[in-house]
């Protein structure tokens, strides 16, 4: 009873992450790679993403303090960031990275500063949601993720 209630909650949470555009199809690709032999694959990839992207955020923050801005360097960092975001299906984060890259291409320093704030905002928001989701998954005691529903 308790179990299925938690599983329903988990399915609801998962659906809203997709409906609200936080996650896209690529996240489902990760879920499909999870199996009995690798029951925590999705969480492991997401954890790796956050570890790696936190490092990138630090690099970008430092680079944004330099005068004048090195747009090539910034674009390179963002290329990595966008790539990782895309690979885990972090749709909103990926979109903000795209905005940032546009500002780099245009040599728009103020635009870079502003769009990076958005990147960090979406990055943090998704992290909170996914942490809550994985915690619920653990409580629900499922080895598999909720079934695919769109």
The correct pick among 32, 61, 70, 102 for binding another protein (CB under 8 A) is 32
Looking only at residues 119 through 138 of this chain, which bind another protein when binding is defined by CB under 8 A? none
Which CB atom, from 49 or from 100, has the smaller least distance to another protein? Answer: 49
The correct pick among 17, 22, 23, 34 for binding another protein (CB under 8 A) is 34
* 105 counts as binding another protein under rule CB under 8 A: no
Looking only at residues 52 through 71 of this chain, which bind another protein when binding is defined by CB under 8 A? 52
* 86 counts as binding another protein under rule CB under 8 A: yes
Q: How far is CA 83 from the centre of its chain?
A: 11
Q: Closest approach of Cβ 111 to another protein, in Å? A: 22
- Segment interacting with another protein, rule: CB under 8 A, options 14-22, 65-73, 128-136, 142-150: 142-150
Which CB atom, from 51 or from 128, has the smaller least distance to another protein? Answer: 51
């Amino acid at each position: 009873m308790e179990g299925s209630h938690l599983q329903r909650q988990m399915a609801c949470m998962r659906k809203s992450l997709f409906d609200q555009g936080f996650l896209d199809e690529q996240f489902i690709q990760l879920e499909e790679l999870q199996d009995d032999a690798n029951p925590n694959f999705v969480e492991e990839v997401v954890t790796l993403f956050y570890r790696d992207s936190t490092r990138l955020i630090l690099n970008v923050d430092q680079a944004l303090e330099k005068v004048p801005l090195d747009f090539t360097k910034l674009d390179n960092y963002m290329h990595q960031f966008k790539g990782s975001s895309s690979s885990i299906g972090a749709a909103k984060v990926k979109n903000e990275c795209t905005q940032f890259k546009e500002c780099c291409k245009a040599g728009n320093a103020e635009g870079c500063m502003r769009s990076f704030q958005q990147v960090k905002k979406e990055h943090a928001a998704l992290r909170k949601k996914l942490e809550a989701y994985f915690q619920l998954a653990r409580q629900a005691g499922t080895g598999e993720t909720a079934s695919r529903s769109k």
